[in-house]
């Protein structure tokens, strides 16, 4: 790790405040005092009378400046420096001799001139020099590696290897495939001769790719920890320096150090920062530096001896933007996917992190895992921590299931806004809206059962929401399931329309999701009229999944028409379901309004109440 002693560094602000205070103090007290000892101007007649009075101690005639500078005693008997303009006076020398005053052509030294010279010149310069040093040191540290920002062109990047990261594969839950792939590297680092003996060359580099927070950085550290070798870690952004050429120099430096410390691991986090595709002309400024750095990296990777035991790991969440040169054999030729955890993986990750907090016995982490489909390892770690914080807030000494469930919602939907004031009418609308979703979901056979409905507003802006938890993990979704999901999404606004005969802005998020799904069905999953033609490609797999159109404008128009038709059809289905169950809609919404939060069981009880038994059974079996 770089700069592992960062913990006890004083903040920059601290130094600035201290120095500013010193300067202010000097200004307020010392400088005025000093100023009073500066030369004072008097008239020639005063000068003459002071000679008579014997006040003057020493006189200096400076021809060039046409001034007489002299030292005289003031009323308090202290010696002070004065000056007066030269007046044509032939008898001056005589007068001075008569009065026994020393005179010369030099500036007389007053007692305090040396001191005042120090105070007025040397001290401020020293202060500013010192301030400059502190600032540049701080700046250097911030820019990575404690280098002096002013040492032009010299990259003394302080890259300190962590001797042993202390992280092992046991700290990384799930991700078994990634771990398997990395175990070979660990073995190589432990017994390089075994591989050298047979002439096998291990890949020089491995690239960890996956969405943010899935444990890529953690895995890299674990490899070093398992192999007990030094770990050089640098983030892509740290190569991008203030001065052109510094990044390349840093790369050189990094590899030089790594070679000396082999066997070891060099880890380049967020490599996409420097490894973006080089796209030749057309870029205005700024990219030269990055390209130089990338070129240097490629050169170094080619240059070093693969048998020596330096393994380069890199991580990125935008693999599609990497320069192909980085991915060719002999460089990062091994690509290790680090995907979002599945149910099993989520439970394992929760377990790993729950080890570090005190939990009440009998907590069910599987339930939490089930409720967090799509969450990353980092989010799961956060959920455990939020639960612990909640337990402390409530004055308990161990985490219980409620804390965990509540923190799932906190992480997903933000904190409860207990004191948000909603009008009674707004609450009614939200209540019908949410029940609309839940009822439509429950009435469609393929929809996942509702686990919880709430109309307590959240800091994320949600005024209420319906939480659905799939019983088991889905890897595939059928066309019907997708359609049903879209119908469920339209259920909220459908309920508003049915009951209040008007709609609100509350459905914007539903609309967004429904549109995205419908679009995906038509352009990517071959579920529309176009058949199996890819009309859109995902450009950003791990970060939000942005898509880009790959079809003619005419086709694009047709796509839009189909999306509109699909969502409209879904909405009509939701309308129909709600009309048929309007009585239940009222009953459930009023109940939710009263209770604010209801569970899936309560919901099902009310829904099934009054139905005769075998009717309920058939609907469950459908
Ligand atoms: P990435 O580099 O992929 O963005 P990190 O490795 O920085 O993610 O993960 C952030 C944090 O999330 C880790 O420090 C760890 O606490 C937690 N985490 C992520 N994935 C896992 C996992 N598979 N097992 C245990 N903890 C994990
Ligand atoms: Mg990372
Ligand atoms: Zn909604």
Count of CB atoms situated within 10 Å of the CB of 260: 9
Q: Rg for the chain (alpha carbons), in Å?
A: 39
pLDDT-derived band of residue 127, with 50, 70 and 90 as boundaries? confident
SS3 188: helix
Tokens, residue 355: 């080890």
Q: Which of 33-42, 377-386, 505-514, 611-620 comes out lowest in average pLDDT?
A: 611-620
* CA nearest neighbour of 449 among 614, 597, 587, 602: 602
Alpha carbons 546 and 164: distance in angstroms, whole number: 39
Cβ pair 381, 349 in contact under 8 A: yes
386 CB near ligand 1 (under 6 Å):
no
Cβ pair 570, 487 in contact under 8 A: yes
Would you state the pLDDT for residue 548? 81
Cβ pair 74, 97 in contact under 8 A: no
Alpha carbons 606 and 619: distance in angstroms, whole number: 15
pLDDT-derived band of residue 103, with 50, 70 and 90 as boundaries? confident
User: Looking up tokens 């049915």, which residue turns up?
Assistant: 498
Alpha carbons 155 and 149: distance in angstroms, whole number: 10
Alpha carbons 468 and 403: distance in angstroms, whole number: 19
- Determine the residue of 378, 385, 411 to mutate for testing ligand 1's pocket, defined as the one with the most ligand atoms within 8 A of the Cβ atom: 378
Backbone angles phi, psi at 399, to 5 degrees: -85, 135
User: Above 50 in pLDDT, residue 150?
Assistant: no
In CATH, the number for domain 37-111 is 3.30.720.210
Beta strands 450-454 and 102-104 are: unpaired
pLDDT-derived band of residue 622, with 50, 70 and 90 as boundaries? very low
pLDDT-derived band of residue 286, with 50, 70 and 90 as boundaries? low
**Ligand 2 centroid to residue 56 C-alpha, Å:** 78
Cβ pair 368, 348 in contact under 8 A: no
Cβ pair 220, 235 in contact under 8 A: no
Would you state the pLDDT for residue 148? 42
Q: Omega into 552 within 30° of 0, i.e. cis?
A: no
Q: How is the chain split into domains, by residue range?
A: 12-33+115-151, 37-111, 158-279+287-337, 343-411, 424-613
378 CB near ligand 1 (under 6 Å):
yes
DSSP notation for 320-333: GGB-HHHHSTTSS-
Better-scored residue on pLDDT, 6 or 354: 354
Count of CB atoms situated within 10 Å of the CB of 62: 14
Alpha carbons 457 and 422: distance in angstroms, whole number: 9
- Determine the residue of 166, 170, 182, 213 to mutate for testing ligand 1's pocket, defined as the one with the most ligand atoms within 8 A of the Cβ atom: 213
pLDDT in tens, 292-331: 888 888 888 888 776 677 889 999 988 888 888 888 877 8
Average pLDDT over residues 442-456: 77
Local structure of residue 415 (DSSP, 8 states): -
User: Looking up tokens 């192909």, which residue turns up?
Assistant: 324
User: Above 50 in pLDDT, residue 3?
Assistant: no
- The answer for residues whose C-beta is within 8 angstroms of residue 425's C-beta and 6 or more apart is none
434 is catalytic: yes
| Domain boundaries 424-613, CATH class | mainly alpha
Alpha carbons 567 and 491: distance in angstroms, whole number: 11
Would you state the pLDDT for residue 245? 73
DSSP notation for 236-292: HHHHS-SSTTHHHHHHHHHHHHHHHH-SEEEEEETTHHHHBPP--TT--SSHHHHHH
| Domain boundaries 158-279+287-337, CATH class | alpha beta
Q: Which of 168-177, 397-406, 456-465, 546-555 comes out lowest in average pLDDT?
A: 456-465
Q: Whose CA is nearest to atom 7 of ligand 1?
A: 217
The mean pLDDT value of the chain amounts to 80
Output the CA–CA distances (angstroms, integers) from residue 181 to 124, 176, 206, in the order listed. 61, 9, 9
pLDDT in tens, 20-55: 777 777 666 666 565 555 677 888 888 888 888 888
Which atom in ligand 1 lies closest to the alpha carbon of residue 341?
Answer: 23
313 CB near ligand 1 (under 6 Å):
no
Backbone angles phi, psi at 396, to 5 degrees: -100, 165
Q: Whose CA is nearest to atom 25 of ligand 1?
A: 172
Alpha carbons 330 and 298: distance in angstroms, whole number: 10
Backbone angles phi, psi at 298, to 5 degrees: -65, -45
Would you state the pLDDT for residue 111? 53
pLDDT-derived band of residue 139, with 50, 70 and 90 as boundaries? low
Would you state the pLDDT for residue 576? 96
The gap between the terminal CA atoms of the chain, to the nearest Å, is: 57
Cβ pair 265, 192 in contact under 8 A: no
- 19 membership: H or E segment, kind and range: helix 12-25
Question: What is the SS3 assignment for 94-156?
Answer: HHHHHHCCEEECCCCCCCCHHHHHHHHHHHHHHHHHHHHHHHHHHHHHHCCCCCCCCCCCCCC
In CATH, the number for domain 343-411 is 1.10.8.60
> C-alpha dihedral over 310, 254, 302, 214, to 10 degrees?
70
487 CB near ligand 1 (under 6 Å):
no
Which atom in ligand 1 lies closest to the alpha carbon of residue 220?
Answer: 6
The torsion region of residue 263 among left (phi > 0), alpha (psi -120 to 50) and beta comes to beta
Average pLDDT over residues 172-182: 90
Alpha carbons 440 and 557: distance in angstroms, whole number: 30
Backbone angles phi, psi at 374, to 5 degrees: 95, -5
DSSP notation for 551-577: S-HHHHHHHHHHHHHHHHHHHHHHHHH
User: Above 70 in pLDDT, residue 62?
Assistant: no
235 CB near ligand 1 (under 6 Å):
no
Catalytic, out of 434, 480, 512, 615:
434
Backbone angles phi, psi at 454, to 5 degrees: -140, 150
Nearest bound ligand to the CA of residue 271: 2
Which atom in ligand 1 lies closest to the alpha carbon of residue 345?
Answer: 23
Percent of the chain with pLDDT over 90: 25
User: Looking up tokens 């694009």, which residue turns up?
Assistant: 556
* CA nearest neighbour of 371 among 410, 419, 398, 322: 410
Would you state the pLDDT for residue 398? 92
User: Above 80 in pLDDT, residue 469?
Assistant: no
SS3 453: strand
pLDDT in tens, 377-398: 999 999 999 999 999 999 999 9
Would you state the pLDDT for residue 614? 46
Beta strands 102-104 and 310-316 are: unpaired
SS3 40: strand
352 CB near ligand 1 (under 6 Å):
yes
Nearest bound ligand to the CA of residue 165: 1
């Amino acid at each position: 790790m770089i700069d592992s002693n960062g913990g006890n560094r004083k903040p920059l602000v601290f130094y600035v405040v201290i120095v500013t205070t010193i300067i202010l103090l000097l200004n307020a007290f010392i400088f005025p005092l000093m100023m009073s000892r500066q030369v004072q101007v008097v008239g020639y007649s005063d000068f003459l009378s002071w000679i008579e009075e014997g006040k003057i101690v020493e006189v200096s005639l400076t021809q060039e400046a046409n001034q007489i500078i002299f030292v005289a005693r003031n009323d308090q008997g202290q010696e002070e420096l004065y000056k007066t303009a030269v007046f044509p006076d032939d008898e001056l020398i005589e007068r001075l001799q008569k009065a026994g005053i020393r005179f010369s052509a030099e500036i007389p030294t007053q007692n305090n001139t040396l001191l005042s010279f120090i105070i007025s010149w040397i001290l401020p310069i020293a202060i500013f020099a010192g301030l400059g040093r502190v600032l540049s040191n701080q700046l250097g540290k911030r820019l990575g590696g404690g280098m002096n920002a002013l040492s032009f062109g010299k990259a003394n990047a302080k890259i300190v290897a962590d001797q042993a990261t202390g992280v092992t594969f046991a700290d990384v839950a799930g991700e078994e495939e990634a771990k398997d792939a990395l175990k070979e590297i660990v073995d190589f680092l432990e017994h390089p001769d075994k591989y050298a003996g047979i002439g096998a060359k291990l890949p020089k580099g491995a690239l960890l790719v996956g969405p943010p927070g899935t444990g890529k950085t953690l895995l890299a550290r674990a490899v070093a920890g398992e192999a007990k070798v030094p770990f050089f870690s640098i983030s892509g952004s740290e190569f991008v320096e203030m001065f052109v050429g510094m990044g390349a120099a840093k790369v050189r430096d990094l590899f030089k150090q790594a070679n000396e410390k082999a066997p070891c691991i060099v880890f380049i986090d967020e490599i996409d920062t420097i490894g973006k595709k080089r796209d030749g002309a057309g870029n205005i400024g700024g990219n030269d530096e990055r390209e130089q750095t990338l070129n240097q990296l490629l050169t170094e990777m080619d240059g070093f001896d693969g048998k020596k035991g330096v393994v380069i790991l890199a991580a990125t969440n935008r693999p599609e933007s990497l320069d192909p040169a980085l991915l060719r054999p002999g460089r990062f030729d091994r690509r290790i996917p680090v995907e979002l955890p599945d149910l099993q993986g989520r439970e394992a990750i929760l377990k790993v992190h729950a080890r570090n907090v005190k939990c009440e016995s009998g907590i069910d982490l599987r339930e939490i895992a089930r409720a967090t489909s799509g969450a990353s390892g980092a989010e799961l770690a956060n959920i455990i921590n939020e639960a612990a914080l909640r337990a402390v807030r409530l004055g308990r000494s161990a985490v219980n299931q409620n804390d965990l469930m509540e923190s799932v919602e906190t992480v997903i939907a933000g904190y409860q806004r207990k004191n948000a004031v909603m009008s009674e009418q707004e609450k009614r609308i939200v209540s019908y809206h949410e029940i609309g979703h839940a009822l439509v979901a429950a009435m469609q056979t393929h929809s996942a059962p509702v686990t919880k409905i709430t109309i307590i507003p959240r800091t994320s802006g949600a005024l209420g929401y319906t939480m659905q938890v799939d019983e088991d993990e889905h890897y595939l979704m059928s066309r019907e399931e997708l359609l049903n999901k879209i119908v469920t999404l339209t259920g909220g606004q459908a309920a508003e329309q049915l009951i209040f005969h008007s709609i609100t802005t509350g459905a914007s998020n539903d609309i967004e999701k429904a549109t995205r799904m419908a679009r995906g069905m038509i352009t990517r999953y071959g579920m529309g009229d176009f058949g199996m033609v890819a009309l859109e490609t995902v450009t950003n797999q791990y970060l939000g999944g942005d898509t880009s159109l790959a079809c003619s404008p005419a086709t694009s128009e047709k796509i839009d028409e189909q999306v509109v038709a699909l969502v409209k059809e879904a909405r009509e289905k939701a309308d129909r379901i709600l009309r048929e169950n309007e009585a239940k809609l009222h009953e459930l919404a009023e109940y939710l309004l009263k209770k604010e939060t209801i569970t899936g069981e309560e919901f099902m009880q009310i829904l099934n109440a009054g139905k005769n038994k075998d009717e309920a059974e058939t609907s469950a079996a459908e």
